[in-house]
């Protein structure tokens, strides 16, 4: 090696021009997500956001997440346009659970070598998710790090900040026996359990079905996380919802207890919501029981609503009117010495 030859950043594997080209592609996508409160967005060292003045005692709620090993399938199948929706969904749905309105979102995209088309497809999905959630994409970071990631691969992370009136924070403290548990249907696997999903695909090999639930196999597997924000916020404005649970890693069995007061349990009725072809295939291919299904996947329920029995049907009707598929899946009962979630 000639130690006298000048070395540029590009020689070292970082293409500044590609980064600039990506920013140019991102700016119009981010612009479509702008909303009240944005003072300065993409381009500065920090994004500025003013909490809307309609809040009397605003409490900020934050959430952060990634997409996990679902990205491995995005790389393998060259399907990059919806994982950004997953990234947004994992954070905005979590923020929603506190009763909060998502205000803004920032993303982090890291790769070994920047492919502008791939990165633009990913960020396009992020912008779409933000737009669907009423959330501004006001900043982010693209990191090109040679040697850190295999060729063609990248990682994603993001975080969301929302706001809720202090008096309207959902804590689940007033959940009591007899309250009804409503389940809002998921859009498939969302973004959890993909280490097992990938094992199922590997095990099935050429015997994987051509379609699942009326969609091509790969499309059904990669269908992005459902964004519940706008519909659930509208229902919150009309009905005295007591608690919400986003069904992510840990499934129904581990996420519902997070919003229940001590001593309370959720008794879910097996078969009260349909098992889709996708989840039936995963269960059969993995050879796992119902308990493992409900602890690994959302199993068809992406968001849980807990509400007083007298208000439950009206709330369900409101959510259905907004386009949600709603099932009455159980009731709250004293926990006693049993599990916090019982499916029977």
My answer on whether 22 and 144 are in the same domain is yes
Name the phi and psi angles at 21, rounded to 5.
-65, -40
pLDDT the model gives residue 61: 98
Per-residue pLDDT of 171-209, as tens digits, reads: 999 999 999 999 999 999 999 999 999 999 999 999 999
Task: Using the predicted structure, report yes or no on whether residue 23 has a pLDDT greater than 70.
Answer: yes
206, part of any domain: yes
What's the rounded Cα separation, in Å, for the pair 253 and 268?
Answer: 10
My answer on whether 59 and 193 are in the same domain is no
238, part of any domain: yes
Q: Which residues of 308-330 are buried (b: 16+ CB within 10 A; e: fewer)?
A: beebbeebbebbeeeebbbbbbb
What's the rounded Cα separation, in Å, for the pair 278 and 314?
Answer: 30
Task: Using the predicted structure, report yes or no on whether residue 44 has a pLDDT greater than 80.
Answer: no
My answer on whether 235 and 313 are in the same domain is yes
> What is residue 118's three-state secondary structure?
helix
My answer on whether 160 and 273 are in the same domain is no
Using pLDDT thresholds of 50, 70 and 90, give the confidence band for residue 1.
low
Angle at 162 between CA 159 and CA 165, to 5 degrees: 160
Using pLDDT thresholds of 50, 70 and 90, give the confidence band for residue 263.
very high
Task: Using the predicted structure, report yes or no on whether residue 55 has a pLDDT greater than 90.
Answer: yes
Residue 61: CATH number of its domain? 3.30.1330.10
Q: Using alpha carbons, select from 27, 47, 166, 148 the residue that is nearest to residue 105.
A: 47
pLDDT the model gives residue 2: 58
6, part of any domain: no
223, part of any domain: yes
Cβ atoms of 285 and 271 within 8 Å: the answer is: no
Instruction: Tell me what the mean pLDDT of segment 153-167 comes to.
Output: 96
pTM of the model: 0.93
175, part of any domain: no
Cβ atoms of 70 and 83 within 8 Å: the answer is: yes
Instruction: Tell me what the mean pLDDT of segment 217-230 comes to.
Output: 98
139 or 2: which carries more pLDDT confidence? 139
Report residue 311 as tokens: 């208000």
Dihedral of alpha carbons 164, 168, 173, 179, sign: negative
Last residue of a domain, one of 135, 168, 201: 168
Residue 265: CATH number of its domain? 3.90.650.10
Report residue 158 as tokens: 């993001």
What's the rounded Cα separation, in Å, for the pair 308 and 180?
Answer: 6
Using pLDDT thresholds of 50, 70 and 90, give the confidence band for residue 336.
confident
pLDDT the model gives residue 9: 62
My answer on whether 98 and 240 are in the same domain is no
Last residue of a domain, one of 144, 168, 192: 168
My answer on whether 187 and 53 are in the same domain is no
My answer on whether 85 and 217 are in the same domain is no
What's the rounded Cα separation, in Å, for the pair 114 and 18?
Answer: 7
3, part of any domain: no
Using pLDDT thresholds of 50, 70 and 90, give the confidence band for residue 216.
very high
My answer on whether 196 and 312 are in the same domain is yes
Last residue of a domain, one of 137, 168, 199: 168
My answer on whether 146 and 44 are in the same domain is yes
Report residue 337 as tokens: 């010495």
Other beta carbons within 10 angstroms of residue 221's beta carbon come to 24
My answer on whether 107 and 141 are in the same domain is yes
Per-residue pLDDT of 103-139, as tens digits, reads: 999 999 999 999 999 999 999 999 999 999 999 999 8
Q: Which residues of 287-303 are buried (b: 16+ CB within 10 A; e: fewer)?
A: ebeeeebbbbbbbbbbb
What's the rounded Cα separation, in Å, for the pair 332 and 267?
Answer: 6
My answer on whether 233 and 204 are in the same domain is yes
7, part of any domain: no
Per-residue pLDDT of 58-93, as tens digits, reads: 999 999 999 999 999 999 999 999 999 999 999 999
What's the rounded Cα separation, in Å, for the pair 120 and 128?
Answer: 12
77, part of any domain: yes
Structure letter (DSSP) for residue 142: E
Instruction: Tell me what the mean pLDDT of segment 1-14 comes to.
Output: 66
Report residue 89 as tokens: 């969904």
My answer on whether 160 and 107 are in the same domain is yes
- What average pLDDT is seen over the chain? 93
Report the residue count for the chain. Answer: 344
Report residue 266 as tokens: 């959720």
pLDDT the model gives residue 273: 96
Cβ atoms of 159 and 140 within 8 Å: the answer is: no
Domain that holds residue 58: 16-168
How many domains is the chain partitioned into structurally?
Answer: 2
Instruction: Tell me what the mean pLDDT of segment 14-25 comes to.
Output: 78
Instruction: Tell me what the mean pLDDT of segment 224-236 comes to.
Output: 98
């Amino acid at each position: 090696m000639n130690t006298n030859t000048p070395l540029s950043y590009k020689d070292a594997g970082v293409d500044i021009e590609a980064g600039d080209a990506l920013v140019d592609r991102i700016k119009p996508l981010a612009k479509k997500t702008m909303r009240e409160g944005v003072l300065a967005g993409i381009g500065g060292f920090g994004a500025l956001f003013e909490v809307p003045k309609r809040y009397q005692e605003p409490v900020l709620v934050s959430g952060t997440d990634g997409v996990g090993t679902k990205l491995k399938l995005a790389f393998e199948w060259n399907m990059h346009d919806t994982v950004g929706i997953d990234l947004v969904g994992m954070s905005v749905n979590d923020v929603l659970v506190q009763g909060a309105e998502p205000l803004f979102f920032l993303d982090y995209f890291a790769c070994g070598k920047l492919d502008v088309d791939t990165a633009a497809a990913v960020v396009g999905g992020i912008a779409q998710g933000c737009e669907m959630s009423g959330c501004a994409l006001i900043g982010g970071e693209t990191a090109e790090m040679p040697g850190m990631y295999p060729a063609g691969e990248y990682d994603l992370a993001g975080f969301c900040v929302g706001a809720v009136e202090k008096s309207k924070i959902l804590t689940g403290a007033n959940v009591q026996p007899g309250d009804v548990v409503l389940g809002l249907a998921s859009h498939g696997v969302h973004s959890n359990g993909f280490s097992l999903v990938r094992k199922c695909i590997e095990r099935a090999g050429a015997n994987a079905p051509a379609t699942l639930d009326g969609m091509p196999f790969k499309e059904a597997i990669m269908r992005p996380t459902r964004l519940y924000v706008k519909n659930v916020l509208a229902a919150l404005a009309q009905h005295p919802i007591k608690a919400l649970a986003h069904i992510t890693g840990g499934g129904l069995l581990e996420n519902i207890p997070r919003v229940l007061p001590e001593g309370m349990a959720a008794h879910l009725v097996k078969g009260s919501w349909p098992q889709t072809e996708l989840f039936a295939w995963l269960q059969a291919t993995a050879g796992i029981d119902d308990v493992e299904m409900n602890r690994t996947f959302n199993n068809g329920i992406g968001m849980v609503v807990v509400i007083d029995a007298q208000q439950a049907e009206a709330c369900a009707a409101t959510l259905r009117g907004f386009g949600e598929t709603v099932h009455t899946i159980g009731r709250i009962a004293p926990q006693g010495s049993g599990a916090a979630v019982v499916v029977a």
